[in-house]
């Protein structure tokens, strides 16, 4: 279980407070108006955003400071791959940042690429991959890192609707296999309906506790209503 205990992030002219828990295995969509602090919330959980007060706990224990030591895999909006490295190396970074791999590890990297449907693409650099393929490479690395908490910061924002749905279903499959907990930032309520069983609403400087997806769309609170543009 992920617990944000009196957590507060302070940035210039902006604060974000969070007091909430996410049960293990939950799939949570993080919704809210742009600029409300959705990415900041994920950044704080991943260890990129310094926390001014409170604690970020995983299974009741405070998370270590270094992002790499946290039980977290994060996929960013962009720059998820190193452009100078091949798809294979980009995935292999998930096992060994120095890229010194054993034979068994090389097999695992190949397997991860195969799992996301990129068999035979290992030699290609990101510049020669399509947007969807880039996202798949990033997911292959997530699969290989096998961390219990997956944070997605709108990684499919630049993809078309069909491709995006495909990616979300791939994410759902991976979650089924790994049993990881998901927190996904999106500005499309449709995404939340597709994949998430809970929604965390971030608005007016506060990240609210998760509410089940069906419930929140049936009876949206005022902040969400404003955001959704519903009367």
Partner 1 sequence: MTRTTTLGALALGVVVCLTLGTLVAVAWRAEGAGGFGPADWAAIRFTLWQAALSAALSVALAVPVARALARRRFPGRGILITLLGAPFILPVIVAVLGLLAVFGRAGILSQALIWAGLEPVSIYGWHGVIIAHVFFNLPLATRLILQGWLAIPAERFRLAASLGFAPSDIFRVFERPMLREVVPGALLVIFLICLTSFAVALALGGGPRATTVELAIYQAFRFDFDLGKAALLALVQFAMGAGAALIAFRVAIPGGMGGGLDRAVTRWDGGGWLVVQDVLCIGLAALFLVLPLSMIVARGVPELMSLPGSVIEAAGLSIVVSLSSALLCLSLALPIAALAVRRGSALVEGVGYLTIAASPLVIGTGLFVVVFPIMDPFALALPVTALVNAAMALPFALRALTPALAGIETNFGPLADQLGLAGWARFRRLWLPRLRRPLGFSGGLAAALSMGDLGVITMFADPQTATLPLQMYRLMGAYRMDDAAAAGLLLLSLSLVIFWIFDRGGRVDADA
d(Cα 81, Cα 134) in Å, to the nearest integer?
Answer: 7
3-class DSSP state of 216: helix
Rank residues 55 and 128 by Cβ distance to partner 1 and give the closer one: 128
Residue 137: closest CA among 77, 86, 175? 86
Q: How far is the CB of 67 from partner 1 (least distance, A)?
A: 4
- Which segment (1-9, 110-118, 122-130, 178-186) binds partner 1 by CB under 8 A? 122-130
Given 13, 34, 61, 98, the residue binding partner 1 (CB under 8 A) = 98
Given 28, 36, 40, 73, the residue binding partner 1 (CB under 8 A) = 73
For helices 161-178 and 131-145, the axis angle rounded to 10 degrees is: 10
- How many binding residues for partner 1 (CB under 8 A)? 25
- Which segment (121-129, 165-173, 201-209, 217-225) binds partner 1 by CB under 8 A? 121-129
User: Which DSSP string do the residues of 63-121 spell out, in sequence order?
Assistant: PPSSGGGSSEEEE-SS--S-TTS-HHHHHHTTT-TT----HHHHHHHHHHHHHTT-TT-
Rank residues 145 and 208 by Cβ distance to partner 1 and give the closer one: 145
Q: Does 47 bind partner 1 (CB under 8 A)?
A: yes
d(Cα 123, Cα 85) in Å, to the nearest integer?
Answer: 9
State in Å, rounded, how far the first CA of the chain is from the last one: 36
Residue 174: closest CA among 199, 139, 149, 198? 139
Given 13, 60, 83, 229, the residue binding partner 1 (CB under 8 A) = 83
- Which segment (5-13, 119-127, 194-202, 211-219) binds partner 1 by CB under 8 A? 119-127
Q: Does 46 bind partner 1 (CB under 8 A)?
A: yes
Give the H/E segment covering residue 124. none
Rank residues 80 and 133 by Cβ distance to partner 1 and give the closer one: 80
Given 79, 103, 176, 229, the residue binding partner 1 (CB under 8 A) = 79
**In the range 135-174, which residues lie near partner 1 by CB under 8 A?**
none
Q: Does 9 bind partner 1 (CB under 8 A)?
A: no
Nearest-Å Rg of the Cα atoms of the chain is 18
Q: Is the separation of the CB atoms in 27 and 15 below 8 Å?
A: no
Secondary structure letter of residue 157 according to DSSP: T
- Which segment (10-18, 80-88, 108-116, 171-179) binds partner 1 by CB under 8 A? 80-88
**Residues within the interface to partner 1 (CB under 8 A):** 46-48, 66-69, 72-74, 76, 79-80, 82-85, 93-94, 97-99, 125-127
């Amino acid at each position: 279980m992920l617990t944000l205990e009196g957590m507060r992030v302070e940035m210039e002219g902006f604060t974000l407070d969070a007091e909430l828990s996410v049960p293990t295995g939950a799939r949570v969509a993080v919704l809210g108006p742009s600029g409300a602090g959705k990415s900041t919330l994920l950044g704080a959980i991943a260890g990129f955003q310094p926390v001014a007060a409170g604690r970020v706990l995983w299974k009741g224990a405070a998370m270590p400071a270094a992002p790499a030591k946290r039980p977290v895999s994060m996929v960013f909006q962009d720059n998820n791959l190193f452009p100078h490295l091949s798809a294979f190396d980009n995935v292999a970074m998930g096992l060994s940042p120095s890229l010194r791999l054993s034979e068994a590890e090389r097999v695992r990297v190949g397997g991860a690429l195969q799992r996301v449907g990129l068999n035979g693409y290992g030699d290609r650099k990101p510049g020669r991959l399509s947007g969807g393929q880039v996202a798949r490479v990033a997911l292959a690395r997530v699969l290989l890192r096998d961390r219990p908490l997956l944070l997605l910061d709108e990684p499919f924002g630049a993809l078309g609707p069909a491709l995006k749905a495909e990616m979300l279903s791939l994410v759902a499959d991976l979650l089924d296999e790994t049993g990881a907990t998901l927190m996904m930032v999106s500005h499309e309520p449709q995404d939340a309906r597709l994949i998430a069983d809970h929604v965390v609403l971030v608005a007016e400087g506060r990240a609210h506790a998760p509410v089940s997806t069906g419930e929140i769309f049936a009876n949206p609170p005022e902040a969400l209503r404003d955001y959704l543009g519903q009367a």
